[in-house]
Structure 1
Amino acid sequence: MEHSLHMILAGLILGVVLVVFTLGKSPFFRVDRAGAAIIGAVAMIGTGVLSFEKATAAVNYKTIIILFSMMILVANLKLAGFFEFVGNNLLRVVSNRNSLLFAIILVSGALSAFTINDIVCLLFTPIVLLLCQKIDCNPVPHLLGVAMASNIGSAATLLGNPQNILVGSLSGMSFLSYFITAAPVAILGLFCTFIVIAFYYRKELHGGWKESQQIPVNAHMYLIIKSLLILAFILIMYLFGYDLALVASLGAAVSLMTRRVEPNKVYASVDFNLLVIFIGLFIIVAGVEESGLVSYIFDQFSFTKVNDLGVFAIVTVGLSNLVSNVPAVLLIRFLIPDTEMEVWWKALALFSTLAGNLTIAGSIANLIVVEIAKRNHVHVTAREYFRIGFPLTLLVTFIGYLWLISIR
């Protein structure tokens, strides 16, 4: 009886939290995703579904450390004027709207591969809006390029987004092994992104512009070079098999050793909400698992694993858009077969990330771009996003599926 009660409570708590995650906020109270994660975690412990000791043990602290450390590094790049510096160089090397879109897609994708895509969108979107204002062109296709390329580019590595960092921590998969598998799909995906957006917006992207002013920027080259060298150090050490949490935290510590940057400015750029969301979700999913609900659902539907990669891709893309990609990863990991586990972990990281381009709410990165644009009186509608995101997601996911099938 108690076991059944715990399953019901765990299911209700998870359901309510996922509703808030899907909508972005509670329909009744002023509760956002971070608040829902906190309340859900406390409810799991308070109702007795999960003990306090098991709740603390459920948190994957390595994932939290990696996220926090990478945020510190990107904050230093922001304060050094790196993103404005990139924007000015884009204006120097391109001469028409089509080539600007292509450059924005490549830059957004490349930056997102080695830092967290949400933060890239947060810092790069205002620069793109300013670029479009300078050359007097419709910013919408370029904003779609930022959002969609950041999702696809971040799929290339285990550092590109929160769910891939989580997959890397849970699976123990090597950075290089995943990169060799995912990078070809991401590179093709970026070209597909350009082709699809350029086709739909061919009229708006026609023509060039007169010589424009540069973006005002006070770039601190010493800080930019220092931050990029630290990031390179982290990647190299990770490739050589060192613990990512250790080298990332070491890199963050070194970046904080400076006489030029006020520490509080760095901390202000850290997305503490995202860290809270992760901690809460670890506890909530652990409560669902502890209650026996996951096993019960699998038993009812007569399956415990998904052995077909195509079905796995559909489930991952669908659930990632239904409940957001991080909760989807935490739930879908129970479906991973016991054989060829590395292939399935790679598929989970790849498909859950590519799923972010299906709808405007499919990724936090998308919402960040849309909200910043809205504050600058530029509106990207869900319908406008979907007409690009739907064919692009189908195309790139299919490419990923074929690639994974070919290398199994």
Structure 2
Amino acid sequence: MKTMSNALNEFKIFFLNKNCEIVLEKLSKIKTFLVNDCFLSISLFAAIVTSFFNTPNWGYVDFKVIICLFELMIIVKAFEEYSLINHLSLLILNRCKNERILLQVLCLFAFISSMFLTNDVALMAVTPLLINISRKSGYNIILPTILITISANLGSCATPIGNPQNLYIFSHYQLHIGNFFSYSLPICIVSLFLLLCITFFFSPKQISFSMKDASVLEKKKIIVFSALFVLLILNILGTIPYYITLPILILVTLILNKSLLKKLDYGLLITFVCFFISVGNISNIAAIRNFLTVLTNTSTNIYLSSLLLSQIISNVPSSILLAPFSFDWHALFYGVTIGGLGTPIASLASIISYKILILEYPNKKKEYLSKFLLLNFFCLLIIGLIFYIYIQLN
């Protein structure tokens, strides 16, 4: 009996230790996940802290935006998986013969591709290519990377799906696509003109490199996902409701390539949910609500406050925080778009290109950040002043 009792106790101890190991391992994974994604950690912390001051409500979360973002992530991941983006970029790059033309082509590619594939994806595609070119030719890529980052951030403002804040603004204000383009096209034209002017300060020095073309995989599947992309656009425009597009997209993905669903950045979706909850909580605190009402009572105020706030908390949470307090969507749109320039945290996409570059060149941190701030604030000052005057005239 004693032997059996001892054996039972040993089993209990083993079982408890094993469970503790599993729990600790899971907690370690969660900790690593949160440390690696600082924006998720900050947004989660903000959601928890603000919930002590106001009872959170699921009504704060714009699930239409979350679903549209989820659908967009699936389609973009499919285009990445089947090498469509790499194929198009390499097809263009192999024809560049000097550094200035190379930079202009890269800026244009980032500018245009970000309109449809988001600024994050454009930078995830172009920055590694730029690093590869640098390896093969000795091309100094610090300034080009910064300029391409600015191009992706500004180009993404052209369409409702170019970046998360556009998606939110388009959904929140229930905009008509024609009305949206009437305000997005002017800033696109001004931005593109400024970027191309800057490229002429770069030397037209000859450059020689050759990169193997990435062949497009699964062409039939790309056609299917392209059709789903059109369906997504119709969903965003309000032609087809999300409760129809979402099941279709998930079903097709499960049939064609279910592994795509495992590769999505679910941290981004959780970050958005946390943004909505924390902003909803803050907006329902009387003193803050009164302050934000005063802060956004004119077009000029909403423009300047969104631009400046973006420098501190990034342009996505700035748009979510300020939109409920103002009907001047165009001033908010210009503020968070131009506010994406400036500090590295002003736009989440800027962090992506920085991380990719520094991973390859860890000794270039100071040089990159100093030049990043200089070039970004220069563009912010020029474009910001132009659209400050534009808002005053309108």
TM-score bucket of the superposed structures, by smaller chain: 0.7 to 0.9
- Whole-Å Cα distance in 1 between the matches of residues 138 and 248 of structure 2? 40
Pick one of 226, 230, 233 that aligns with 1:232: 230
Corresponding residue of 1:349:
333
Which of 254, 266, 271 in structure 2 is aligned with 1:272? 266
CA deviation vs aligned residue, 1:146-186 (integer Å, no higher than 9, x gap): 21111101111221111111112211112331123212311
Per the alignment, residue 50 of structure 1 pairs with: 54
CA distance in 2, matches of 1:191, 1:288: 39
Structure 2 CA distance for aligned equivalents of residues 113 and 154 of structure 1: 4
**Cα offset, 1:197, TM superposition:** 4.7
State the AA in 1 paired with 2:353.
V
Partner of 2:39: 33
Q: Is the 8 A contact 1:158 1:164 kept in 2?
A: yes
Following superposition, the deviation at residue 211 of structure 1 comes to 5.5
Answering whether residue 377 of structure 2 is matched by residue 383 of structure 1, we say: no
CA–CA distance in structure 2, aligned partners of residues 211 and 295 of structure 1: 56
1:36 Cα offset (Å):
3.0
Offset from partner CA, 1:160-218 (integer Å, 9 cap, x none):
1111111122111123311232123113302312322542xx2xx43122362424555
Q: 1:248 to 1:224 in 2, by over 3 A?
A: same
Letter in 1 for 2:142: V
Match runs of 1:113-152 below 5 Å: 113-152=115-154
* Corresponding position of 1:166: 168
2:235 and 2:242 in contact (8 A); partners too? no
Tell me the CA shift for residue 374 of structure 1: 0.9
Who wins on radius of gyration, i.e. which is larger? Answer: 2
After superposition, the Cα gap between the structure-2 partners of 1:61 and 1:256, relative to the gap in structure 1 and judged at 3 Å, is same
What is the aligned partner in structure 2 of residue 157 from structure 1?
159
Greater helix percent: which structure?
Answer: 2
Superposed displacement of residue 403, structure 1: 4.4
Structure 1 equivalent of residue 106 of structure 2: 104
Alignment RMSD, CA only? 2.8
CA contact (8 A) 2:111 2:155 kept: yes
- Structure 2 unaligned spans of 5+: 1-30
In structure 1, what is the equivalent of residue 384 of structure 2? 397
CA contact (8 A) 1:148 1:357 kept: yes
The amino acid that maps onto 2:315 is N
C-alpha distance in 2 between matches for 1:154 and 1:385: 19
What is the correspondence of 1:1-400 to structure 2 with a 5 Å cutoff?
32-45=38-51, 47=52, 49-51=53-55, 55-199=57-201, 202=202, 205-210=203-208, 212-217=210-215, 219-235=217-233, 238-239=236-237, 241-242=238-239, 245=242, 249=246, 252-253=249-250, 256=253, 258-259=255-256, 261=257, 263-264=258-259, 266-297=260-291, 303=294, 305-309=296-300, 311-336=301-326, 341=327, 344-377=328-361, 379=364, 381-400=368-387
CA–CA separation in structure 1 for the residues paired with 2:319 and 2:355: 25
The DSSP-based 3-state class of the residue aligned with 1:357 is coil
Whether the 8 Å CA contact 2:292–2:322 is kept in 1: the answer is: no
Is this contact kept in 2: 1:357–1:363, CA < 8 A? yes
- Asked if structure 1 preserves the Cα contact closer than 8 Å seen for 2:114 and 2:152, the reply is yes
**TM, length-normalised to structure 2:** 0.81
Distance 2:93 2:228 in 1: 27
Secondary structure of the 1:50 match is coil
- Distance of 2:67 and 2:316 partners within structure 1: 16
Structure 2 SS opposite 1:85: helix
Q: Relative to structure 2, which stretch is displaced further, 350-359 or 247-256?
A: 247-256
* Secondary structure at 2:126 match in 1: helix
Deviations 1:224-281 (A, max 9, x none): 3433343234335655x4157457636733651544x3x22x1343221111111111
Shift in CA distance, 230/397, structure 1 to aligned 2, threshold 3 Å:
farther
Q: Cα–Cα, structure 1 residues 246 and 31, in superposed 2: closer, same or farther, change >3 Å?
A: closer
Distance 1:304 1:131, change over 3 A: closer
TM-score, normalised with respect to structure 1? 0.79
Which is further off, 119-128 or 354-363? 119-128
State the SS of the aligned residue for 1:137.
coil
**Could you tell me whether the CA contact under 8 Å between 1:125 and 1:143 is conserved in 2?**
yes
1:31 offset after TM fit, Å?
8.0
Partner Cα separation in structure 1 for residue 213 and residue 69 of structure 2: 30
* Residues 361-370 or 127-136, more deviating: 127-136
1:59 to 1:236, Cα distance in 2 relative to 1, 3 A: closer
Q: CA deviation at 1:34?
A: 1.3
Return the offset for 1:126: 1.4
| 1:19 alignment counterpart | none
Pick which of 220-229 and 61-70 moved more: 220-229
- The separation in 1 between residues aligned to 2:252 and 2:289, in whole angstroms, is 45
Question: Quick one: which amino acid aligns to residue 364 of structure 1?
Answer: L
Residue aligned with 2:358, SS:
helix
Structure-2 change in CA distance of 1:97 and 1:250 (3 Å): farther
Q: Contact conserved, 1:109 with 1:152, CA < 8 A, in 2?
A: yes
Report deviation, 1:351: 2.1
Q: Using the TM superposition, give the Cα deviation of residue 127 of structure 1 relative to its aligned residue in structure 2, in angstroms.
A: 2.3
Q: Alpha-carbon deviations, 1:316-353, whole Å to 9, x = none?
A: 211110111122112222542xxxx3xx2122123202
